[in-house]
Amino acid sequence: MSAVYYTIGVVIFFLALMVSIGLHEVGHMFPAKRFGGKVTQYFIGFGPTVWSRQRGETEYGLKAIPLGGFVKIVGMLPPAKDGATVPAGALGESEEENAERVRDYNTGFFTGLIADARAAELERIGPDDADRLFYKMAWWKKVTVMSGGPMVNLAIAFFLFAGVFATYGNISDIRTTTTVSEVSPCVVPYAEDGRECTPADPLTPARLAGLEAGDRIVAFNGTPIESWAGLQKVIRANSDGAAEITFVRDGATMTAQTNTTVEARPLSLDDETLTQVGFLGVAPETYVKTGGPLYTLGEMGSMTVDTVQALVTLPVKVGHVALAIVGLEERDPAGPISVVGGGRIAGETAASDDFPLTEKVVFLAMIIAGFNLFIGMFNFVPLLPLDGGHVAGALYEALRRGFARLTGRPDPGYADVAKLLPVAYVVASSLLVMGVILIIGDLVVPVRLPS
């Protein structure tokens, strides 16, 4: 039956991802059409067409490789300023002669690619499309159209996170209380933590004091206790001194006397360095923090900072994945994964016997939300061919035209993003290589759920 659940988890993940991609493209298409632009194609996937249907001027369909999607908006690239790819004075009357001169003129590799891209754009422009071209839109319309896709992904992430945080809680935000959940029966060295007590092990100060699970500690040696971190601080500072513990049990305030002992313990979860500190032998009750929309926005703000930092180091981390593939180092469980890795984790979560159904649903929702957050932020990177590259071009156009108006200079015209196509080709090639490395890594040295 676990194989069935595994398959269900993978299918749910990829269906959710395809829906997210489809809505991303709707985020581009809807405002483009509202602003009068012409959208000729709306496809989910890449490669050979599996199915398509014409609706009005737009062809809708599915392609064979479900790793993305696209919409084709007419007039994304402006023509060369002189209307040709060679100086106007160098053109003759014969089309064959002009084609040869164009080839001779565009001697550079990238220059030729730019010329080809402009030509491809011109082929899609009909006689009635002059006022419907994307590059002629106002800058704020361009920003709206190109931001629409990643904003949809961020909206999906928000609603998924908000739903989980408001009902189940944020599994990454575990809070503690001052109520005791467990009293350790004996003092066990930290290196042997988890083993059974032996007759040689001394009782913990908390056991000697008679503390029980459910007691809420309100004071330690007369110091009021308002948080578990505050209690830890005063216990650690007490060394092996006398300790008077005030606590509430079944509504009644009680006091117990004991002496804390000194043990070598780490001071935080992030630092395993052992330090000699006072030790009592109690563990706190914990709960998962819940919150509404404002809490969700705050958490997504922190996630966004982490995502930006991850994007900056992405090439380096993908390099480590490549080293892991050839066996030169271990795969970082906190490193980047592809959609293949995401599907594997979703399948393992669904098939695991360690999680109840509610936690499986929550974990799958968090995976899907996390992917949407990453996709949204990634597409805002201000480089072509990503959406952020077109947004940056529109903002540059607005600044340049605004500066020209302020200084009384002539209108400089539309921003020619076609000149950035060499950057787009390099970025696209890099993304392709990194994507292939991650997919191979997720097949050869996959990241798995902790056992």
Q: Which residues are catalytic?
A: 25
**How many other C-beta atoms can be found within 10 angstroms of the C-beta atom of residue 135?**
23
Q: Quickly tell me which residue has 């082929």 as its tokens.
A: 123
Do residues 279 and 145 make contact, with C-beta atoms less than 8 angstroms apart? no
Q: What angle do CA 429, 14, 346 make, to 5 degrees?
A: 105
Which residues have C-beta within 8 Å of that of residue 118, sequence separation ≥ 6? 77, 79, 80, 85, 418
Residue 48 to residue 36: CA distance in whole angstroms: 29
What pairs with residue 223 in β-bridges? 220
The encoded tokens of residue 338 equal 């592809």
Q: What is the residue type of 67? A: L
Residue 286 to residue 178: CA distance in whole angstroms: 9
Q: Quickly tell me which residue has 């703000």 as its tokens.
A: 301
Largest distance between two CA atoms of the chain: 104
Radius of gyration of the chain (CA): 31
Residue 295 to residue 303: CA distance in whole angstroms: 12
Residue 158 to residue 225: CA distance in whole angstroms: 36
Do residues 22 and 51 make contact, with C-beta atoms less than 8 angstroms apart? no
Residue 208 to residue 187: CA distance in whole angstroms: 11
Do residues 360 and 349 make contact, with C-beta atoms less than 8 angstroms apart? yes
Query: How many secondary structure helices (H) and strands (E) does the chain include?
Result: 12, 10
What pairs with residue 42 in β-bridges? 60, 71
What's the half-sphere exposure (Cβ side, CA atoms, 13 Å) at 177?
Answer: 14
Do residues 383 and 423 make contact, with C-beta atoms less than 8 angstroms apart? yes
